[in-house]
Structure 1
Amino acid sequence: MAAGGVPDGGKVEGVMRVRMPGTTKPQDPPRTQNAPGSQDIARDPFFDNAKFLLIVLVALGHSWEQIVSGTHALQSVHTLIYTFHMPAFILLCGYFSQRFTGTPTQVRRLIESVLLPYLFFELAYAATNSAVRDEPFAYTPTEPTYLCWFLVALFLWRLSAPVWRAIRCPVPIAAGLSLTAGLTTMSYDLALPRVLMFLPWFVLGLTLRPEHFALLRTRTARRCAILTLLCAGAASYLWLPAPDEHWLSMDAGHTDLDVSWPRYLAIRIGIFMLSATLVAAFFACVPRRRTAFTALGAATMYPYLLHGLLIRAGEAAGLYPHLKDLGAPGQLLLTAGVIATVFLLSTPPVRRVFRPVVEPRLPRAVVPPGERSR
């Protein structure tokens, strides 16, 4: 996505310098976009490839939700994807937030790249839901609508990045907060349940270094990853009917899921372990070289924010019942259409049209004179 990590459009708020094995000088982790005012820095196609593939999975997941009920095979794939695609996305957001220290310039850019798009698209989705679903129109930015929750979460996670770097054992502490959040009863204001329950993945990304990803860039790792994903897919198929989807969407506590707190903790820890395995498997399968979609991985905010509006348009047109009636051909047609749409929404012409709302700028009166030229 743009300006914020993975939904960041690839803007790197930076990564700490580390010493790579076998070298004598510290090196930066692979960057995915030049720092403002810097000379050309080579992008690492691995991360752009990963971001594009993840946004495709996000769009597929949201689209399949319209027809997945009663489709055993598709439902198993849908469940498998939801086990790892958001954790992987959030992990990359953390990885590309490692230099965020909360300076005025960084905060202003965070407002421009995440908060302002959130306010606009929250309005757009509220209006769309009202028109398509006959819901009363209500613009309530404190209660995120549909996929906008992620922007709120990203804004809060990134603001918290300096705190996590200042404490010891940040990942276990974040995991503890995540589990504790599920034992409490809280409203959905600012998507707080998801902010806290997905938090460990962002914090984990803050702690990762290039050598951690290098462990997954081997032929052996890829072979193991393919086997892992195949086994997970088979298990998902055999396991259906799947458990309550809220276990994976991380927006409900143990009382909402109607389980005891010991059982809740055991299942959540199991989900953490399973998701971590599948996240590693996904990254091991990501192409390391430039591909036909590598360049599009730098603009994932555009398809993320726009694809939901097209899904709502499909609802208004009555498209999904017809596709569901077609069975497997309809599922394949929807899948191919979504992938093509993500490609289209990532292209330069679409980005030029929607840049004012996806990558807005604060009014000149708000920005100090020294920063107006960027």
Structure 2
Amino acid sequence: MLAGAWLPWVLLRPNRLAPGEPLRLEPGWLLGAAALALLPALVGHWRRAWVWPAATAALALGVWLLGQQTAAALVGQAPFARASASSGAWLYLLGAGIALFGAAQAAPERRWVGWVWLGPVLAAALSGHLNAWSVVVEGRSEGARWVQELGQHLRLVGTALGLATLLGTPLAIWGAGRPRVAGAALGLSSGLQTLPSLALLGLLIAPLSALADAVPALRAAGLSGIGVSPALTALTLYALLPVVRGGLLGLQGVPAGVLDAARGMGMTRTQRLWRVQAPLALPLWLGGLRQAAVVLIGVAAVAALIGAGGLGTYIFKGLQSAASDLILLGAVPAALLAVAVDAGLRRLEGWLGTRLGRAE
């Protein structure tokens, strides 16, 4: 954070594509940011419980300074000028985030500390304080199109995760008591994950195009070599490994004594599966779903290259035009979405594990 306070904070560009002029913090703001950068380390040696308020204050100042400095940089500039966050702002905010994460890890009973960063970020965003930041400017100009691409990204991930669950759960149940079947299922799904996502999308174009030409009904239903069809196929195949592995680990981890007790009670094989094995395996199975969801959120961005849409549209549009703001417009929401999904499913996984532990 201390290094970030001294580095350029804002990059002022006459337009989206032109090279920018780096702008540093004024001496007063620089001293304040440097003081708050040192505060978490100083209070950590004295009283560890005060690290998270100090880190939160540093992060809040960083977010506020980003909005204040970008707005000040655009005064007197043309309407199409852009003020982006420079290396100093990113490094400062990263340092404050690491300090918050460390405070949460040092106090497991206060894990909520790791989410304190949402407060200043949401406050600045909802109040309009960040409206001059180039990423927000690009987001406003895209408007409904960005919402549409975000919805498409969520649809791709949700549909692929559902299809992978429908395919992977029966495979896990079938292979739970059959080592050869389990090995074959894991080997096949592991082999699919070794293929680069872009290569897999390319390999699917020819067979899906041939299938659509051979069966007109499928073409009428929307099947084609480019677009959503190959994207969903590739995403589903990528999600199979964590879903199958999570299901197998959960079902195979049920204690043998519990299954013997269920047999002694006269339960059939189906009853043992749904009343005993499935509830006990659910936390590990949810762990597999969590891993699959996080992987899909990232891989779905590549699907934009074949016309499937999603947040990757802005990433590749920004790469083609060397517009970093457009890249961030797709990459930052995707990263935040992955963090939110991982945290939500992890909490559900832990809650189920606690309840099952109490039940035992």
What interval of TM-score do these two structures reach, taking the shorter chain for normalisation? under 0.3
TM-score, normalising length: structure 2: 0.24
Higher RCO (CA < 8 A, seq sep 6+)? 1
TM-score, normalising length: structure 1: 0.23
**Where is the helix percentage greater, Structure 1 or Structure 2?**
2
Greater gyration radius = 2
